[in-house]
Amino acid sequence: MDAERFVRFVEERGLVIHLMRQALARMRESDLHRGELQTLPLVVRLARTLLRLAVLTDQMAQSNAVRLTGLNQEEVAQAIGVTRNAVISGLGQLRAVGLVETARRVIVIRDVEALRRWAAAD
């Protein structure tokens, strides 16, 4: 769809304000994420990232455990601005206290509420 046609579609349906709100929300989220990358400890950033991903799965309402699949440790590292080895270390810390389990391309959050408490620490 070309730009002119898209703009006409949006205007005809009164969607301008909705798109503006969405864009502003994304900008706020992006700013918050950049701030976290610069200031928070690794394990806190990792916990927050895992929780953000968990929300996207729609599993949060069903139980206190969430299964994240299809992500490798390099992708998680890129999301939080660290090396793969740092992610391995952070996941090791979370695994040691029983918050997560890991397997190839799978991270299971065993206790969402406890992970929220870790994510709140800053």
User: CB under 8 Å to 34, separation ≥6 — which residues?
Assistant: none
User: CB under 8 Å to 88, separation ≥6 — which residues?
Assistant: 73
94: its two tokens: 């979370």
**What is the chain's percent helix, strand, coil content, to nearest 5?**
65, 10, 25
Closest CA to 75 of 98, 99, 106: 106
The residues that bridge with 107 in the sheet, in sequence order, are 68, 102
Residue 14, SS3?
Answer: coil
Q: How far apart are CA 32 and CA 95, in angstroms?
A: 26
The tens-digit pLDDT sequence of the chain (122 residues) is: 899 998 899 899 999 898 888 888 888 877 676 666 666 889 999 999 999 889 888 776 666 789 999 989 999 999 888 999 999 999 999 999 999 999 999 999 999 999 999 998 76
Contact criterion met (CB below 8 Å) for 65 and 112: yes
Q: What is the DSSP letter of 70?
A: S
Predicted local confidence at residue 115, as pLDDT: 94
Place of tokens 């806190």: 44
